[in-house]
Structure 1
Amino acid sequence: MSISHLWSREFLSKRSILWLLSICNILGTVYGYIWYGSQMVDTVSHGYIWQVIFVPDSPTASLFFSLALLLLLYPPKVLGIGLLQQFIEALAVVTSVKYGIWAVAIIFAGQAQGDVLVWQDWMLVASHTAMAVEALIFVRLFHYRWTALAGAIAWTLLNDTVDYTYGVFPWLPGQLYDHLSAVELFTYLLTLLSGFAAWYFMKRTHAKRR
C-alpha cells in the first residue's frame, strides 16, 4: 500500500476508518464538555442560560464533525435532511479548522507572555491540531454548498460576537487578558480565514467530482 493511498478518497471513505474517527471524536467531544464544565456552570450562575451553548467552542466543533461522519456512515433518506447534513458538514469544517488553530495559537501566545506549559497544554496542542487537519482531509467526502457554508460562517461569527460581548469566550492564560482586544480581533479574522479554507476545499472537491 502506497502512502498516497492513505489520503485517497477510497481509503478515507472506508467504514472502518469513518467508525474509528467517529469514536475518537465522540470521546474527545465528551472530554471537551467535561473540560468546559466549570465555565458552563459559572456562565449559568452569572449570566443567562442561553449563553451556555456558546461556551464550549472546541467540543461543539468536534460534535459537528462527529455528526458529519455519522451522516456519511448512515446517509439520511428523509426528504429535506440533506440540507441539514450540508449545514452540519459546513459547520464541522469551519469550526474544526477555526478552533483547532485558535487553541494552539492561544496556548503558545500565553507561553510567549510567560505562561508555563504543562502536559495538558501539549495534549491540547496535539488534539486541536488534529481537529484542524482532519477537517481539511475529510472535506473531500462532504457535500455542502455555498449556502450551507454561508450559514456556518454566520453562526461562527455570531458565536464570536456572543463570546466577546458577554465575556463567555474560552478562559485564557492569565497573561493574555491584558491583550483581550487583540485576541478578539484574531478570533474574528480566524473565523473568516477558516470560512475561506472551507470554501477553497469545497471548490476543489466539487471540481474533482465533475
Structure 2
Amino acid sequence: MITYILQEKRFLFCLLLINFFGTLYGYYWYEGQLAATPDIFLVFVPDSPTASLFFTIFLLFFLFGKNIPYIEALAIITLFKYGTWAVVMNVLTLIVEGSIGWQGYMLIASHAGMAIQGILYAPFYKIKLRHIAFAAVWTLHNDIIDYVFAMMPAYSSLNKYMNEIGYFTFWLSIISIFIAYWLTQRNKPLN
C-alpha cells in the first residue's frame, strides 16, 4: 500500500510542489547569512534547502521514470542529516530559551518530514557504492566548511555549544551515510 502511494503520480506531483516551495523558502531563510558568506562557501551554506533541492530534482526525474543516482545519494544522506539536525537544534533552542515560536515548530515539522521522505524513497533509488562515496565526501566536506570555517547556520542561543554541535554533526553525518548504505546496498554485491 505505502509503495503504491509513494509512486502515485498525483502524490508525487504534490510532494514535488511542497519540496520546490520549501526549497525556495529555505534559500530565502538563509538570505542574510548568504549575503555575508564568501563566494567560495556559498554552495555549502544553505544546508537544508540544498538537501531538499536534491530531493526535488530526484522527484522530477522519478515522475518520468528516470533515476539520477548521484543526486539520489546526496538526497538520502543530506535529507536525513539536515532534517534530523534541524529538529535537534530547534529542540535544544526550546530547552535553552524556553520557547521557539511558531516558526520553530514549523521548522521541526518540516525538517522531520525531510528526514522521513528521504528514507521512504530508499527502495526507489538506483544508488551504487560510488554514489554513496561521492555524497559522503560532499557531506563531510560540508561539515568542515560549517565548523572549521564557521559557516554553520546561525542559532544565536546555541553559539556557546558550537564545539559540541560540531562534534554531534560529524557523527550525524556518519550515521546518515551508514543509513544510506544500509538501505540501498545491504542486499547488493559490492559494486
Q: TM-score, normalised by structure 2?
A: 0.93
Counterpart Cα distance in 1 of 2:151 and 2:178? 25
Q: Is the 8 A contact 2:69 2:131 kept in 1?
A: yes
Supply the AA of the counterpart residue of 2:90: I
1:182 is aligned to 164
Secondary structure of residue in 1 paired with 2:171: helix
CA positional deviation for 1:101: 0.3
Q: Is the 8 A contact 2:129 2:185 kept in 1?
A: no
Q: Which runs of 5+ in 1 are unaligned?
A: 77-81
CA positional deviation for 1:108: 1.0
1:194 is aligned to 176
Q: Which runs of 5+ in 2 are unaligned?
A: none
Q: Is the 8 A contact 1:101 1:128 kept in 2?
A: yes
Supply the AA of the counterpart residue of 2:110: S
Q: Which of 72, 91, 111 is equivalent to 2:94? A: 111
Q: Identify which range, 97-106 or 140-149, moves more after superposition.
A: 140-149
2:36 is aligned to 42
Larger radius of gyration: 1
Percent identity over paired residues: 36
Q: Which of 57, 67, 74 is equivalent to 2:64? A: 74
CA positional deviation for 1:144: 0.8
* TM alignment of 1:8-157, pairs within 5 A: 8=3, 10-43=4-37, 48-75=38-65, 85-157=68-140
Cα deviation, 1:72-126, whole Å, max 9, x if unaligned, reads 12345xxxxx6xx111000000000000000010111122223521000000000
CA positional deviation for 1:203: 3.1
Counterpart Cα distance in 2 of 1:143 and 1:168? 32
User: Where in structure 1 do 4 or more consecutive aligned residues deviate above 4 Å?
Assistant: none
Q: Is the 8 A contact 1:115 1:175 kept in 2?
A: no
Supply the AA of the counterpart residue of 1:73: L
Counterpart Cα distance in 2 of 1:142 and 1:157? 21
Secondary structure of residue in 2 paired with 1:170: coil
Cα deviation, 1:11-70, whole Å, max 9, x if unaligned, reads 311222211111110000000000000100011xxxx21111111000000000000111
User: Alignment RMSD, CA only?
Assistant: 1.4
CA positional deviation for 1:179: 1.2
Q: TM-score, normalised by structure 1?
A: 0.85
Counterpart Cα distance in 2 of 1:114 and 1:38? 22
